[in-house]
A and B are shown apart, each in its own frame.
Chain A
Amino acid sequence: MTKDEVYDELAEVMRDVFDDDTISISSHTTAQDIPGWDSQAHVMLIVAAEQRFGIRFRTAEFETLHDVGDFVDLIMLKRERV
């Protein structure tokens, strides 16, 4: 899976989680940019991404995510190990 594909899939996951078809993302997108991205939605996003990409984040990894770029890099890294 290429980086672009991961971005596309993740954008789709986020559209579902936030119920907003207009969401588009870049590496600099953060929680501030998306209405409704609170701590509860954050957990739901992580759970949904785990399901979509067939991976599992470690407890410590949530704290290292600052923007969508970090998120995508982490997903890429995890998928390589699968």
Chain B
Amino acid sequence: MLSWLPKHRDAGACLRQAQAAGDGPTMLAAARALAGHSRDAQFTNRIDRLARAARAAMPASGLAEPGLAEVGLAILSSHTIDHLVPAIRVAGLHRNLAIEVHTGEYGQFRSALIMGDTMLERFAPRMILFAIDLPSILEPMALSADRDTVEASLAGIMEELRLLWSLARERFGAQPVQQTFIPQTSPLLGSNEAMLPASPWACCARLNELLRQASQRGEVLLVDIANHLPDAGSEGRLYDEVRWYQAKQLVNPLVAPAYGELVARLVAAFVGRSRKCLVLDLDNTLWGGVVGDDGLEHLRLGQGSAEGEAYLTFQRYVARLAERGIIIAVCSKNDHDVARSVFDQHSEMQIAFDDVACFVANWADKASNLRHIARTLNIGLDSMVFVDDNPAEREIIRRELPEVAVPELPEDPAGYVQCVADGGYFESLGLTSEDLARSGDYTANNQRAAIRASTTDMEGYLQSLDMTLTAGPISVLDRSRAVQLINKSNQFNLTTRRRTVEELHPLLEDARTVTLAFRLRDRFGDNGLIGVILARPDPAWTAGDLLIDTWLMSCRVLGRGVEVAALCALRSAAVQIGATALIGEYRPSGRNGMVEAHYERLGFERVETDTPGGETFWRMSLQNERAAHHHLKLELTV
């Protein structure tokens, strides 16, 4: 089970040794190591018991030090789920998460939320998972019921689920998560079951469709057992009638490890612990054969050979991951130019050299190279997944860099895609258009850095970037990204005022305010939305003064004079609505020291005020023209 995880040489002995040692840190370390190996349901339970014993023997603060993040997950269910909890916790350990699980009273999922539940309130979950079986929520219908009747009934169920989701949000401040339904019965017609809308099997399929639509709209996150678990367990089917009749277990206990993985990877994505970067070996990983020995023309890649097609498919999958925003890097033992030549010359290559954010082909050891890639891309080793067909290289990386995930690739390249996908390393809760452009961004940032290294004079470098800054009101399309920036930016953030979409809305509607979203393009690509300014009249200042309530920018674009160009945009927009002066405000947050002198550098004059919090205020008149020196082309859209 969990075939992408490596097999442990002697898991049983390792477990017994740790049990015998008896001290918290040793037991926890062993449990974490074992969690990262292939394991069946029973052994997963034993790992969980070891980890529980470890935690009981350690102070609560003992978790932070080994880098475990605590997350509270409540599961409210209509059936037995206790047998799944150990597998969720163990799958969490394997992702550096200490998932605490609270299980509601069996069958009480409605009342827990509607009437309130002090135990649940005290537990204060970050996420609430609803695990509901179909018979407990779907009322029996006559098979003759027409489509409208069935739709009305299913709409009623969705209505109830929505109520539960919003209660999870409002009453507990938790992210609602819904498990998809499984039929627990068989079709009555067959392949064309949908022609009988009232059949329970068809209802189940339709209900899952409605759930997926709800998740698309951001109402809920799904744990999609219906789609992702039926073929997960070689050891048993997802739903085993005998276990249902015997113990009301909807999920077969043999499938528990796969179920735990599915839940834990969602939790990981939710707390930002999904991996970001795929590092690939080349020979026999991206193509069949060794380019340095066999020569370019004898590589097996592309149509014409079965193996070549398998490599082609894997490359296409990687290219799509890149398109999805996953950073692609190469780490190969090869001569650099020889390895590069395949990208430049082989017509079947699906991954362009430019898609590779960091390309390392040399004869140094791979552990050092992976460290180098992490530094170059400015990401953590725990963001990386290393894919290599060579078991020896995999073993070395697992030993040297345990933070890096190393899937146990099958010998046949036909299984590569499934192996990388099964690992669930890149679980995501949905993409913004920024994500889709980001990967290209990392690649471009590296090329920018390369130019900077070769350009000694800064002015020439900035000129060569060919930058265009677009400034305009925050449009509907920009809103979610703008709110994301408002709530995440710490360093280049003058006031650190956080706002929700709802709080932002009145400012956008007010004709007396200036709201600006900034986008930056340069010769390497589109950096997307990189800055936000909100300026509004304030009763504390005189009429005609416009207070810069918020000014923040992404650190990715620092040192390029973007703020100078942004000020030009702000001045024009302010003049347009009749303002006569700008008031800059700096509120120290402990993390924004880099912009303490921001307004001074831009030519504002200090306004002496009595401010206990250390805020400073700055004024700039709009009465006269001002020359500004920067290297950006400014496009204002109003």
Instruction: Give me the interface of A with B, judged by CB distance under 8 Å.
Output: 16-17, 19, 21, 39-40, 43-44, 47-48, 51, 57-59, 62
Contacts and interface: CB of A to CB of B under 8 A. Distances in A.
Contact of A44 (B16, B83, B235): B83
Given A16-B46, A40-B80, A47-B254, 5 more contacts: A44-B253, A47-B42, A47-B243, A59-B241, A59-B245
B42 A43 contact: no
Contact of A59 (B45, B49, B246): B246
A6 B143 CA distance: 50
Given A17-B42, A48-B42, A43 B243 contact: yes
9 contacts: A16-B42, A40-B247, A43-B243, A43-B246, A44-B45, A47-B41, A47-B253, A59-B245, A59-B246
B508 to A, nearest CB: 54
A58 B240 CA distance: 12
Residue among B43, B241, B243 facing the most chain A CB atoms (10 A cut-off): B243
Nearest to B245: A59
A19 B42 CA distance: 10
Contacts, number: 40
Residue among B49, B80, B253 facing the most chain A CB atoms (10 A cut-off): B253
B511 interface: no
Contacts of B254: 47, 51
A5 B385 CA distance: 46
B1 to A, nearest CB: 12
Size range of the chain B interface in the assembly: 20 to 34
Nearest to A63: B246
Given A16-B46, A19-B46, A19-B49, A43 B247 contact: yes
A67 B238 CA distance: 30
Shortest 6 CB-CB distances between A and B: which pairs?
A43-B247, A59-B242, A47-B253, A59-B245, A19-B46, A19-B49
A43 B83 contact: yes
A40 B83 contact: yes
Contact of A39 (B41, B235, B247, B253): B247
Interface in B30-78: 41-43, 45-46, 49
Contacts of A48: 42
Interface in B404-432: none
Nearest to A36: B49
Contacts of B82: 40
A79 B297 CA distance: 58
Interface in B249-296: 249, 253-254
Contacts of B249: 43
Contacts of A47: 41-42, 243, 253-254
Given A40-B82, A44-B42, A47-B41, A62 B253 contact: no
